Structure 1
Amino acid sequence: MSPGLDARRFFSYLFIFAIALVFILQFGPGSRGCNAPLTPSVKDAAARVNGREISLAEFRRAYAQQLDALRARGGGDLPEALARQFGIPGRVLDQLITTELLEQAAEAHGITVSDTELLDAIRKDPTFQKDGRFDPETYTQVLQAYARKTPPDYEAGLRRRMAAQRLLAMVADTAEVSEDELRARFLREGDTVSLSVVKFDPAAYAGKIKQPIPAEVSAWEKAHGKEIAAYYEANKGAYSKGEQVRLRHILVRMNRDPSEDEKVKAHDRALELRKQIQGGKNFAEVAKESSDDTGSKAQGGELGWNERNTFVPAFAQAAFNLKIGELSEPVLTPFGWHLIEVEEKKPAEEKPLAAVSGEIAQILVKKERASALAEADARKAAAALQKGTTLATQFPDKKDQDAQSVEPGDRPRAIDTGSFPKSSSSIPRLGAAPELQAAAFGMQGPGALPGVYRSGDAFVVAEVTVRQHADDATFQAQKGELREEALRQRQVELQESYVESLKKSARIVRNEELVAPTVAEG
């Protein structure tokens, strides 16, 4: 993979981060006990928690496991720079600190785990099983190769983690929910509505708009200076570019966690390829023959024009410091060793408002006209709805029924929002539409909602299909389910509050360099 990352993969990882970084206690066989003495400098450890050390090795194992899980879900390599931008190292360290605090608290409260319980946990761990049964040889091999621990050391650490988990369970067991709390929750969440909605997005009408003639654009530009300036400020990135380079590179790939010997061998290989180029061999030919970057190898290592933030920091620093035609020394990044050759450079540029005012005016004229078409269709649909023609009849949903929302630019189609409570901050499958939401909850039962509503730039027509009021009969019927849900929420709140109290009273020193947003590669 090249040191850049395409937009689709970027948002894929963005989504994955949102769902993957949850509170965890156990990091698998890589976790450790905390009996090693603390070195004087926090730079020699990941953190110090009440005088006990979280080692660098432990942090690196946990961080590598987290990255491996994210990469597996994301379908490929995850650049180190992107992981740091999202604060993954800091989250992993926070998890390790939380685990250590809970282990210390369990020890202080005398919470223990018996040998029988410990053995049962080990035997049930699939990591140590062969053909569905615990295998002593597999157990020893995994600990040696993966955790790099002896069985006694691993078992001591596991015993501490199990005690911590038991402590958290004891905290959760103190949770209670009163009848008044249940009723308040029901009144807040039991008042629900389901809607059938049609969204008329101006973007879907853009293709119907004819190109405005220059005189129309000029007249609009003169009359709407404020709107043009506001659009320019909101979209300034589209009218500016940072410094750019066009370059080629050769990658000598390494494993994600290479040994020092592997680093030296890969570095020597990069030096060997550099000598070939210095000896007169064409850079592109060497890249085609020897580069490990499958994405650019066939193009002779060509990466095209890119700004600095496209690359991981070490690669970017080397590339933008090179002169045109200059060959870099080997550059280390999380992917391996690179050789870089810069072919062209462009300075940073920013187009002033005056230079793009006409271009923006043309965009806004078309947007205004598309919006007018969308609103006109929305008002026709609203009128038909008031006369008794349902939205599902007017705009049957022919799209995949599993579509989770109305995407920008979608053609009008009737969708069911499903049930949502009055306390919801937005309407499912549609988004924020406060006036529509207020009107829907003002209805006593199913029926057409009058008029046209706004959701962002789009126009929305809606009808209530189901209206559920928070009455006492419904409360009594749902009380058992409500209690279970409220109890689970209260247990999580108590556990989080307990952990925060431990943190406030603890002496915690973190290795901030270890979790910095960016890190230079040497």
Structure 2
Amino acid sequence: MAKPNKWTLLRKRVIWILILLLVPPFILFFSGTGQAPPGRRRGSAGTLFGIAVPWEAYERQEAWVRRKVTDRVSGLSSGLVDQLVQQQIWRELLLLAEAKRQRLRVDDQELAASICRIPAFQQDGRFRPDYYYGYLRATGMGPQDFEGFLRHDLLIERLVDSVKASVALSDEDVRAAYEAAHERLRGLLFFFDPSSHTEEAEAAMTEEELRAYYGAHLEEIRIPDEINVEYAGASREDLTRREPPSDEELNAFYAEHEAEFLREDGTLKPLDEVREEVRRRVMDQKTRKALTVLALDLDEDLRAQRSFEEIAQTRALARRASGPVPIGTPWLPEGLPPDETQAVETLPEGAMSGVIETGQGVYIARVTQRLAARLPPLDEVRAEIRDRLIRLRAQDAARKAAGTLRARLNERRSAGLRFEEAFLAVGADPARAVSFTRTGAIDPIGAVPAVNTAAFGAPLGELTEVLETPGGFVVIRPEERLPADASKFAEVKDSVRQETLTRHQDRRVEEWLKDLEARANIQKFVEPPSAAGQ
């Protein structure tokens, strides 16, 4: 069953997680254009600190941010990308405005040094000007455009670094962080597994309950618009398997690039010593060339209005199918490249896409079927509803069992019994002896930070509230705090200092950004991304 409500919650979570990932400092380098879209609008896109943001500035920043976002994260629907891009545009414009207000600058020497450090423009750790200018030619960007955007990213980095620099740690702070991170809690854990209540829940299920659940969850059960997609093409992996480099090609590449395989003393490394690097570079050249040729061939086929079947057969392309795929699903089924689904989502049934070039391959795709949103009848989803109700019933039973045990133990304790006596009196299943830190995993529940926090926050000898975990419910009785081993502090002091500093800096930047956004009083005149495709 489709669950629109779940996707809504997931989209919100994804947006905020990705914004945190993309908060400066970051400098990304990739293929694409940073030029502003044609047909600029007049007026302003919004205001920052009461000052208008021209459409031209907004659109230029949008092009740059969109390429950074799409190259940093993949597999997202176009709707989610649009939301993330728009929020990140305003954050970067805000940070640039603040950098200007603080009169921060990046001089030409710093800019040149940054360009030389970009891995895409290096070979064996050395800057290659031909790589740089080749990149500019391939993307259609002039040096002035690229270096202007890069200068802005460096300004943002400098601004955020200045905020981080305001954070200081004392030796006492570092020691306290070490002690908190390595202090252990020893206690008893009561685990309540929902699976032990499955048979009971299954036996109690009735037809009336199935019908009642169906009627109360129609929107959750409703299946959204979907498409079936067929695609054909070649990936880098396909080409690597199909045409591995020959010994002749390896020897030729090695001979042509001998200067790149010299030792520090000037002697030439033998081919056997660098064979894997040579193989990788030859294969990279071959696949890039093959994908470029394939893209041109497919474009020619589409211009000639050849059918999907004819193109796939003529070009010896493997045909693959996937679906039904919900329109706008944030992550797509395994095997279906995200770029392809987003490229065909709006096509009518039977229509083909243009040539789709991704970082990993070249494809064409078509929609073989469009399925309108519908409400499936009860009989179609009966098994799913039944399984869900059984699972919910079993979870409720496990939660209730945990609460009952906790209440009975506390009742006996209030009557004056020691914990061991109360435990025997209620006839509870054996508890597990556990020992864990504030952030470490706990057997058998794994890593559930909320459980660690609750256990460390409970008084020794008392029971925590009933705590939910992915696998069931737990109640913990902390019995003893075991202090961190002071003798090992010196060994890890430097790493603890860096980890603690990074954590404090991130928190400081987050607080500073919230304050900056409030002071900027951002007004946006840009329409929010359409819900279509989300």
* SS of equivalent to 1:272: coil
Report the Cα offset of residue 167 of structure 1: 4.0
Specify the code of the residue in structure 2 equivalent to 1:443.
L
Which residue of structure 2 aligns with residue 75 of structure 1? none
Q: Deviations over 1:438-457 (max 9, x none)?
A: 8962226xxxx569945379
In 2, the alpha carbon distance for the partners of 1:442 and 1:16 equals 38
**Structure 2 vs 1, CA of residues 377 and 203 (structure 1 numbering), >3 Å: closer, same or farther?**
farther
Q: Deviations over 1:314-367 (max 9, x none)?
A: 745545xx5xxxxx344569777644444x9688235479x9799759945993
Report the Cα offset of residue 156 of structure 1: 5.2
Which residue of structure 1 aligns with residue 447 of structure 2? 429
| Equivalent in 82, 86, 90 of residue 86 of structure 2 | 90
CA contact (8 A) 1:194 1:419 kept: no
| Equivalent in 49, 62, 66 of residue 65 of structure 2 | 62
CA contact (8 A) 1:197 1:462 kept: yes
| Equivalent in 90, 100, 104 of residue 104 of structure 1 | 100
Q: 1:107-506 residue pairs with structure 2 within 5 A?
A: 109=103, 111-146=104-139, 148-150=141-143, 154-155=146-147, 157-174=149-166, 193=185, 197-203=189-195, 205-206=197-198, 212=203, 217=205, 229=212, 231-232=213-214, 235-236=217-218, 239-242=221-224, 249=230, 266=299, 269=302, 272-274=305-307, 289=313, 297=319, 301=321, 303=322, 315-319=344-348, 328-331=350-353, 338-342=365-369, 348-351=374-377, 363-364=389-390, 367=393, 371=397, 375=401, 386=420, 416-419=435-438, 429-430=447-448, 437=454, 441-443=458-460, 453=466, 455=468, 458-464=472-478, 466-467=480-481, 488=505, 491-493=508-510, 495-497=512-514, 499-500=516-517, 503-504=520-521
In 1, the alpha carbon distance for the partners of 2:70 and 2:316 equals 21
CA contact (8 A) 1:112 1:163 kept: yes
Q: 1:1-40 residue pairs with structure 2 within 5 A?
A: 18=17, 21-28=21-28, 39-40=40-41
* SS of equivalent to 2:100: helix
**Structure 2 vs 1, CA of residues 16 and 288 (structure 1 numbering), >3 Å: closer, same or farther?**
farther
In 2, the alpha carbon distance for the partners of 1:131 and 1:362 equals 56
**Structure 2 vs 1, CA of residues 40 and 34 (structure 1 numbering), >3 Å: closer, same or farther?**
same
* SS of equivalent to 2:22: coil
CA contact (8 A) 2:45 2:52 kept: no
**Structure 2 vs 1, CA of residues 190 and 497 (structure 1 numbering), >3 Å: closer, same or farther?**
farther
Q: Give the % identical residues.
A: 15
Report the Cα offset of residue 23 of structure 1: 0.7
**Structure 2 vs 1, CA of residues 347 and 267 (structure 1 numbering), >3 Å: closer, same or farther?**
farther
In 2, the alpha carbon distance for the partners of 1:32 and 1:286 equals 33
Which residue of structure 2 aligns with residue 402 of structure 1? none
**Structure 2 vs 1, CA of residues 512 and 263 (structure 1 numbering), >3 Å: closer, same or farther?**
farther
**Structure 2 vs 1, CA of residues 500 and 194 (structure 1 numbering), >3 Å: closer, same or farther?**
farther
**Structure 2 vs 1, CA of residues 366 and 199 (structure 1 numbering), >3 Å: closer, same or farther?**
same
Which residue of structure 1 aligns with residue 42 of structure 2? 41
In 2, the alpha carbon distance for the partners of 1:68 and 1:80 equals 14
Q: Deviations over 1:257-292 (max 9, x none)?
A: x99xx7996385276234xxxxxxxx8x65863699
Structure 2: tracts of 5 or more residues without a match: 1-5, 237-290, 333-340, 358-362, 413-418, 484-492
Specify the code of the residue in structure 2 equivalent to 1:464.
P
Which residue of structure 1 aligns with residue 264 of structure 2? none
Specify the code of the residue in structure 2 equivalent to 1:202.
P
Report the Cα offset of residue 117 of structure 1: 3.9
**Structure 2 vs 1, CA of residues 271 and 196 (structure 1 numbering), >3 Å: closer, same or farther?**
farther
Q: 1:73-88 residue pairs with structure 2 within 5 A?
A: 78=75, 80-81=77-78, 83-84=80-81, 87-88=83-84
In 2, the alpha carbon distance for the partners of 1:136 and 1:177 equals 42
Structure 1: tracts of 5 or more residues without a match: 1-6, 72-77, 275-282, 323-327, 396-411, 422-426, 470-477
Report the Cα offset of residue 102 of structure 1: 3.7
Report the Cα offset of residue 26 of structure 1: 4.6
In 2, the alpha carbon distance for the partners of 1:228 and 1:68 equals 47
**Structure 2 vs 1, CA of residues 429 and 330 (structure 1 numbering), >3 Å: closer, same or farther?**
closer
CA contact (8 A) 2:34 2:64 kept: no
* SS of equivalent to 1:419: coil
Q: Deviations over 1:383-420 (max 9, x none)?
A: 9x93799xxxx98xxxxxxxxxxxxxxxx987655226
**Structure 2 vs 1, CA of residues 91 and 359 (structure 1 numbering), >3 Å: closer, same or farther?**
closer
**How large is the RMSD of aligned CA atoms in angstroms?**
6.5
**Structure 2 vs 1, CA of residues 357 and 466 (structure 1 numbering), >3 Å: closer, same or farther?**
same
TM-score, with normalisation over the residues of structure 1?
0.54
The aligned length equals 417
**Structure 2 vs 1, CA of residues 166 and 437 (structure 1 numbering), >3 Å: closer, same or farther?**
closer
Report the Cα offset of residue 242 of structure 1: 4.9
Report the Cα offset of residue 97 of structure 1: 1.9
* SS of equivalent to 2:305: helix
TM-score, with normalisation over the residues of structure 2?
0.53
In 1, the alpha carbon distance for the partners of 2:466 and 2:460 equals 15
